[in-house]
Amino acid sequence: MISWLAIFETKHHGIDILKQCHYNTVSVTNLSFIFRLLSLQVLAERHYPITPIYNETRSGVCLTVDGHSFTPEELVAMVLTHAKDITKAYGVEGNVRDCVLTVPSFYTQHERRALLDAATLADLNVLALIDETTAAGLHYGIDLIEDEPQNIVFYNMGASALQVSVMQFYSYERKETKYGKAKKVGAFQVLGKAWDASLGGVAFDALIVDYMADQFNEVWNKKRNDGEIKDVRKYPRPMAKLRIQANKAKHVLSANNDVPIYIDALHDDTSYQSHLDRATFEDMCKDLLAKSAIPITNALKAANMTLADIHGVELIGGGMRVPKVRETIQHTLGDKLDLGMHINSDESMALGAAFHGANVSTAFKVRHIGMTDINPFPVAVSLGELDAKNQNDEDAWSKHATIFKANGKVGVKKTIAFTHDKDITCDVDYDDSEELPVGTATSIEKYNITGVVEFAKEMAEKGLGAPKVSLQFELTTSGIVLLVKAEASVEETYTVTEEVEVDDEDEDAIEESDEKKDDEIESEESKEKEAAKEGEEASNEEELPVEGNTTDSATVDDEKKEDKKEVKKQKKKMISVEKVRPTLVNIFCTFCYFSAHSLV
């Protein structure tokens, strides 16, 4: 409650910060801008009057304004609170609790968790985090049902960054359920992403600001004529005025070839008056324009596609209103693809996020649209022994595996299994990748997994082997990697004796073998009798054998044997059977979580 009151009471300081940065209108779509202000490179290049400091207490960066220190999470929480107030005043009645937040494609887990923390400070329950461009694609595909898969490039140039995504839209037959009949529904999947985190509308504004500042410095220093060269960039108030005027000039030049600029008493009782034409503006932006086409190539490469595989292009974001930007994109794509603007470039991301929130919420029933997003950064797991004396020892037990590859699907689970009898330390890190933003800490999370040693000793006393440890990780649809389950198991076999009623087949088999032996003996006896008979006939031809009695006796014996077989086939018996059955003896291990920023 204390944190909430502190944030609420100092909320106006956060608004003042945004005003100094030319953002006099608070917008939820610019949440990422607050985080990105802390980039020293951006602050230096664009002359923002903000100096971040390192806070040892939280092991992170903070901003100090008028003697008050603020974390990025607190500043974003202020913006979210302001958004709640707007929603409550003009939207739904009652308390605003659930929300869906959009994030840039290049947000790592550190920034996503920071955004979730900011939402917690603002007393908001985040149903999901969704990529900005993916949200726009969801809005684009709400009513889209294609007979053949369509590959669309979404070009999103916003205020602070440029993002490009390649998406494939298709349809499939959905099976009949108790909630509805079988029908054809639409779906889409993201195939590749690319971005430029520093190229956006503000980058174009900054060039105009430098252009006007140079002109004003010339007039101002000439007017002063004291031999000292001063720079208006060192003064926050006139720079804020120049940023506002630069943004207006850019908007006018989007529809006109020339714009007059006049700022009364800009600084030191000196006014600024000039004009800017479109040709001059495009010439000063040529480096930015050259960079604006690179993410298209990178996104196609990530999707393993070429321009020949693309069926359409959609432009979103305010930056695409600059005519030269559209001309550069068209030149990159060629004449076969037209630039489409079929969705609202300003509201499509918010509308897609709202629809996604209705899908993940249990309070709404909306039409089903399949959506599959990807994670652009590879995630790896490093394992070691928790009680190892020297972690740098080459002979120490350790394992390393990449569990989530770059551009892999989100919303999946992966399990790694290995045999071990010691407690484990588990580090979840980003693999080395060129796509990671500059300065990103590779460490994501750290877990200490215990309970394995006690379980291994218990199993060893039973004469069993070392346990098999299984760790299950999940990459959520919000792009967060979690260890969801850790367990150790040992396979134990035991013998059971069961009474089973079966046919007396074994005795029949024995009887059949005995009958075969009897037949062989009888055949030998018959041969001997025939030989004796021939001898008797030769010695005494008058004596005749008793053939009739022999035949009758053999026939009677055969009938008795057949009756005996029939009786034996009908017999049943109970036997004891010993069976060996395997079983798993497992234990759910306990694990402690350490956030990455607490390890800095």
Query: How far does CA 286 lie from the centroid of its chain?
Result: 36
- Give the pLDDT score at 432: 84
Residues paired with residue 125 on neighbouring β-strands, in sequence order? 98
Sign of the CA dihedral with 20 first, then 198, 352, and 372 last: negative
Write out the chain's pLDDT in tens, 600 residues: 222 222 222 223 333 333 333 322 233 334 544 445 446 667 777 777 777 888 777 777 888 877 788 888 998 999 999 999 888 888 777 788 889 999 999 999 999 999 999 999 999 999 999 999 999 999 999 888 888 999 999 999 998 899 999 999 999 888 877 767 778 888 999 999 999 988 999 999 999 999 999 999 999 999 988 888 999 999 999 999 999 999 999 999 999 999 999 999 999 999 999 999 999 999 999 999 999 999 999 999 999 999 999 999 999 998 888 999 999 999 999 888 889 888 888 889 999 999 999 888 877 777 778 899 999 999 999 999 888 655 566 678 889 999 999 999 999 999 999 999 899 999 999 998 888 887 788 899 999 988 888 888 888 888 888 889 999 999 999 999 999 999 888 887 767 666 666 665 554 554 455 555 555 555 655 655 555 555 544 444 443 343 444 444 445 455 555 555 554 454 555 655 555 555 556 666 666 666 554 433
Helix extents (H) in 225-346: 236-253, 278-284, 286-291, 294-302, 323-333
- How far is the CA of 507 from the CAs of 181, 188, 571, 577, in angstroms? 60, 67, 10, 17
Query: How far does CA 105 lie from the centroid of its chain?
Result: 11
CB neighbours of 373 closer than 8 A, spacing ≥ 6? 130, 131, 134, 189, 190, 409, 410, 411, 477
Helix, strand or coil for residue 288? helix
Q: What is the DSSP letter of 396?
A: S
Where do the domains of the chain lie, and which CATH numbers do they carry? 201-289 (3.90.640.10), 391-495+585-599 (2.60.34.10)
Sign of the CA dihedral with 219 first, then 223, 229, and 231 last: negative
Pairing between strand 60-65 and 68-70? antiparallel
As a whole number of angstroms, the distance between CA 545 and CA 549 comes to 10
Residues paired with residue 491 on neighbouring β-strands, in sequence order? 584
Query: How would DSSP label each residue in 74-113?
Result: HHHHHHHHHHHHHHHHHS-SS---EEEEEE-TT--HHHHH
- Give the pLDDT score at 21: 32
Q: Which of 590, 597, 314 is nearest to 441 (CA)?
A: 597
- Give the pLDDT score at 76: 92
Q: Which of 469, 446, 470 is nearest to 391 (CA)?
A: 446
Pairing between strand 98-103 and 125-131? parallel
Write down the pTM of the prediction: 0.77
Pairing between strand 258-267 and 270-277? antiparallel
As a whole number of angstroms, the distance between CA 320 and CA 313 comes to 12
- Give the pLDDT score at 541: 41
Sign of the CA dihedral with 563 first, then 564, 565, and 568 last: positive
- What residue type is assigned to position 261 of the chain? I
Half-sphere exposure of 2 (CA within 13 A, CB side): 0
CB 488 within 8 A of CB 557: no
